[in-house]
Amino acid sequence: MARRPTIKDIARQAGVSESAVSFALNDRPGVSQDTRARIRRVAEELGWQPNIAARALSGERSGAVGLVLPRPAHTLGVESFFLQLVSGIQEVLAAQRTALLFQVVDDLDAECALYRRWWAERRVDGVLVVDPRTDDPRPGLLDGLGLPAVTVGAPGGPGPAVLSSVWADDAGAMARILDHLYALGHRRITHIAGLPGLAHTERRIASLRAEADRRGLTAAEVSSITTDYSDAQGAEATRRVLRGPLPPTALVYDNDVMAVAGLAVAAEAGIAVPGRLSVVAWDDSALCRVTHPRLTALVRDTAGFGRLAAEELLAVLAGGPPRARQGEQPRLEPRESTAPPAAAY
């Protein structure tokens, strides 16, 4: 294998001392502008790059940020949300020559252990924390470690914040979905939700209940069922509610994968969509647009949300204060999967 160029190689080719190379490459005084330019030109010609591990050990930045996904890997499936989120994050980080260290773990305990190890090893300069919980130990842990972090999906609110956050208006989005279904005439609506305990799951459930109460709809008419976001649990929840004594006329799914799975269950049962059942997906994707019928879905700029999160973490690393930033408001895109309910169903 080819040997990596060193500071000694640069010094020899540029005809200067190793200390002069160090001054030039680290933007320190001690060399003239002409010498600095020559040293950098030689470094580029040789393909020299800084040793990130050595910099971390010396107390400098590692040049990387971390992202841990605390979900069983099998539940990710073909869900597009995290792929789009990561693409937006990576777009910002790449422009700053910052690496993204990504890891999937089984649960919250494993995630917290990983943060402690990254902090001890100086592997990352900061982290992006996804899937905030209603009772979340991670902000306190990261604050105690002094590891800069931004929470992705935490609600904004008044008062001092331990960590910076970027968040989406889940309550407002659910209200728009219920507005659409109620205007069509639906009064029996079931929400096939994601993981229990997640802050955004609880906000969506609470918003659905509040909007139902405002319209005089009972818990027997409008309700939520939690799942692990997978197509298997989405399909099972759909079968269960459609076989019940008072089946819903509309189903709202917390992601596109479950919505497509629910559409297949309805087809197997001979239940026409949207003739007898309307279906709404929380996140729009290619899956929603290529199914038949095409799925009514919430459209939001998920990659833009990722960019916002990465920009906020870089601002924190630059010394900015903790703050909460709201992402772009999602809009509901009505398609062929929603229509007025059949009177006989």
How does pLDDT run along the chain (345 residues), one tens digit per residue?
A: 356 788 888 989 989 988 888 888 877 888 888 898 999 999 888 887 766 555 544 455 678 999 998 876 666 656 678 888 999 999 999 998 899 999 999 889 999 999 999 988 888 999 999 989 888 899 999 988 899 999 998 765 444 567 889 998 999 999 999 999 999 999 999 999 998 989 899 999 999 999 999 999 999 899 999 998 889 999 999 999 999 989 999 999 999 999 999 999 999 999 999 999 999 999 898 899 999 999 999 999 999 999 999 999 999 999 888 888 998 889 999 999 999 998 644
Let me know: does 35 contact 72? Beta carbons within 8 Å: no
DSSP state of 321: P
pLDDT value of residue 60 = 58
C-beta of residue 200 within 8 angstroms of C-beta of residue 172: no
pLDDT of residue 162: 75
Q: What are the boundaries of each domain within the chain?
A: 7-49, 64-166+302-328, 170-299
Q: Out of 3.40.50.300, 3.40.50.2300, 3.40.50.2000, 3.40.50.1260, which CATH number does the structure's domain 64-166+302-328 have? A: 3.40.50.2300
DSSP string computed for 36-64: HHHHHHHHHHHT----HHHHHHTTS--SE
CA within 13 Å, CB half, 69: 16
φ/ψ (deg, to 5) at 77: 50, -130
The CATH classification of domain 7-49, taken from the options 1.10.3720.10, 1.25.40.20, 3.30.365.10, 1.10.260.40: 1.10.260.40
Alpha-carbon span 36 to 41, nearest angstrom: 9
pLDDT at 3: 66
How far is it, in rounded angstroms, from Cα 303 to Cα 79?
14
pLDDT given for residue 345 in this prediction: 44
Note the pLDDT of residue 1.
39
pLDDT at residue 251, rounded to an integer: 98
Tell me, what's the pLDDT at 344?
Answer: 41
Q: Do domains 64-166+302-328 and 170-299 have the same CATH topology?
A: yes
> Which DSSP letter does residue 198 get?
B
Question: pLDDT at position 31, please?
Answer: 85
User: What dotted CATH number matches 170-299?
Assistant: 3.40.50.2300
Q: What is the pLDDT of residue 234?
A: 95
